[in-house]
Chain A
């Protein structure tokens, strides 16, 4: 299997990046909702946020890597039978998911660093605070983080539904070529 993409299908790097970002993002969403309700004596009380921060940083790096890889690796041609509005809709959803990831990363960083504490990425290194936030701004940023989480899950559901429609109803290669089948 090729590393780079061809006009027909995706290469290994693109496929792995796509699915890693997909699975990690869903995992972070569930982990995030779960961890905020943990009790103080729970084993995961400190571990869950530790993982959430570290994995969140990894996802952000992977998304940056995808943006760098895309012009290098090229992109399979659009499947011509698909109507133009669907191409447009797909593009809009892709870009909104990119936007949501950036918002999630930035707001996540701001929540942790709101009072000057650094953001620890696993036990590897700390990202220092850039600015201090007022309580009102900090609460707004928290809400934005949560809403962006819901937003990206809604977009991902649309995206998955579209892929499944292509696979089972149009019976074209859209999903297969992202699965190396």
Chain B
């Protein structure tokens, strides 16, 4: 009898219908990064990041196409390790006084044959919202050493800056596109 109850209890654990779990992006302990790079004069890459952002997502390895993500970025936190350039970016390009927030909200996920996901969504920057597609791969998931459960992803994309109403014509022909790298780890709630 006891065995049967135990078996029933166990089976209920294992055959529960796959349910997407909710995750909070681990910005508190800084295990998430929104990095960018742009060409400098066509000679080299200049990289920077947004220090302040927050977001949540839901994900289930059994049903990845049901995933959702929403990330808000404090654009004024742009950091290229040079105070004068960051001020210039805030004031002359990103206009953070008027458009303090950037946001990515997913609309759909497509499972690709190679195991990666194609994340589609709306990206808002500089007050302009446009559809954006970001190929995403899962880096790993599992229990962390402190009693929690985590999953992490890496996504990379590029976009034309002028599409968001930011005039970068004076930066030269090599610097019209910016590459975004999203390195995101979430803690299951």
Contact with B along A89-118 (1 / 0, CB 8 A): 000000000000000000000011111110
Q: Assess A138 versus B83: contact at CB under 8 Å? Given A40-B170, A40-B171.
A: yes
* B22 interfacial contact with A, CB 8 Å: no
Q: How many A-B pairs fall under 8 Å by CB? A: 41
In Å, the complex CA distance between A142 and B92 comes to 13
Q: Which of A19-45 contact B (CB under 8 A)?
A: 36-37, 39-41
* A139 interfacial contact with B, CB 8 Å: yes
Asked if B172 contacts A142 (CB within 8 A), the reply is: no
Residues of chain B within 8 A of A40, CB atoms compared: 170-172
Least Cβ distance of B119 to chain A in Å? 29
Chain A residue at minimal CB-CB distance from B77: A135
Residues of chain B within 8 A of A138, CB atoms compared: 83, 87
Contact with B along A48-88 (1 / 0, CB 8 A): 01000000000000000000000000000000000000000
Asked if A142 contacts B170 (CB within 8 A), the reply is: no
Chain A residue at minimal CB-CB distance from B169: A39
Least Cβ distance of A117 to chain B in Å? 6
Known contacts A36-B91, A116-B83; 17 further A-B pairs (Cβ under 8 A): A36-B92, A39-B170, A40-B172, A41-B170, A41-B172, A111-B83, A111-B84, A112-B84, A114-B87, A115-B83, A115-B86, A117-B84, A135-B77, A138-B83, A139-B87, A139-B90, A142-B87
Asked if A117 contacts B170 (CB within 8 A), the reply is: no
Main secondary structure of the interface of B (DSSP, over half): helix
Residues of chain A within 8 A of B6, CB atoms compared: none
In Å, the complex CA distance between A117 and B88 comes to 15
Interface, chain B (partner A; CB < 8 A):
76-77, 79, 81-84, 86-88, 90-92, 97, 170-172
Q: Of residues A39, A117, A135, A139, which shows the largest number of chain B Cβ atoms within 10 Å of its Cβ?
A: A135
Residues of chain A within 8 A of B88, CB atoms compared: 36
Asked if B92 contacts A115 (CB within 8 A), the reply is: no
Contact with B along A113-142 (1 / 0, CB 8 A): 111110000000000000000011011001
